[in-house]
Amino acid sequence: MILVLGGTAEARELAGALHEARVAVTSSLAGRVSNPRLPAGSVRVGGFGGPDALARWLADRDVAAVVDATHPFAQRISASAAQACTSAGVPLLRLQRPGWSEQPGDRWHWVADLDAAARAVPALGERVLLTTGRQGLSAFAAVRDTWFLVRCVQQPDEPLPPRHRLLLSRGPFTLAGELALIDEHRIEALVCKDSGGPHTDAKLAAARERALPVVIVRRPPRPAVASVASVAEALAWARAHARDGEVHARDAHAG
């Protein structure tokens, strides 16, 4: 069985492609979102209990290989996967979408983390669209003079800045939609993570079109493991590592 550590669109695509290719696949989700979009194949939900427990999980289920397709900012699970795969002797591949890069007209301010983003905001605008996700929002709780439109998938459980409006939405986001949002709320600056990929980049095009500054949080460091940037490459790798004879249930029944 191939284990896909998920929580991203790419992880879902990969699980779907493996399932389609008749490779037995289990996707693992952290369980943060109450109604996640589920991938094809088997799904398990919740933390493993750290790297040692993950190593045991891999050994107990005779996992052939692991693809870490978690979000570029999900640091702990990637570190855990690297450690667990080394100790269990299971091949590991990191599937990570490339980060975003500036284009002509962009006014980006790169910062190291959310605290630095919160410090950068007051100088850039009084009305800010904040799209860094529900985790880590407390970094902005002490920013008193800025009004934030806080957009995230699910209700945050951290303290929010005193002046804000919460917008729960998981997209998909379009350029027209992002421009309308910016105009409706008279947004003057944007804060986001360098998540990369095409699923959430419309806000960057909208900021470019309105000449708004963007505070963009750099990706955290990752363990040094073999990496690919596309689902197609990860699919080829996983297929090559899948054990012969391991097919998913539908095909097993089909003979």
Residues that bind ligand NAP (CB under 6 A): 5-8, 28-30, 32, 47-50, 54, 70-71, 73-77, 80, 133, 135, 193
Calpha distance 57→19 (Å, rounded): 21
CB of 24 to ligand NAP, least distance (A): 18
CB of 253 to ligand NAP, least distance (A): 28
CA distance 64 to 66: 7
Rounded to a whole number of angstroms, the minimum distance from the CB of residue 152 to ligand NAP is 10
Choose between 153 and 179: whose C-beta lies nearer to ligand NAP. Answer: 153
Minimal distance in Å, beta carbon 72 to ligand NAP?
A: 8
Judged by beta carbon, residue 5 or residue 143, the one nearer ligand NAP is 5
Shortest reach from residue 255's CB to ligand NAP, in Å: 33
Which of residues 72 and 161 has its CB atom nearest to ligand NAP in the complex? 72
| Residue at shortest CB range from ligand NAP | 47
The residue among 32 and 218 lying less far from ligand NAP, judged by its C-beta, is 32
Looking at the Cβ atoms of 19 and 193, the one nearer to ligand NAP is 193
Cβ 231 to ligand NAP, closest distance in Å?
15
| Nearest by Cα to 199 from 71, 58, 16 | 71
Nearer to ligand NAP, 122 or 197 (CB): 197
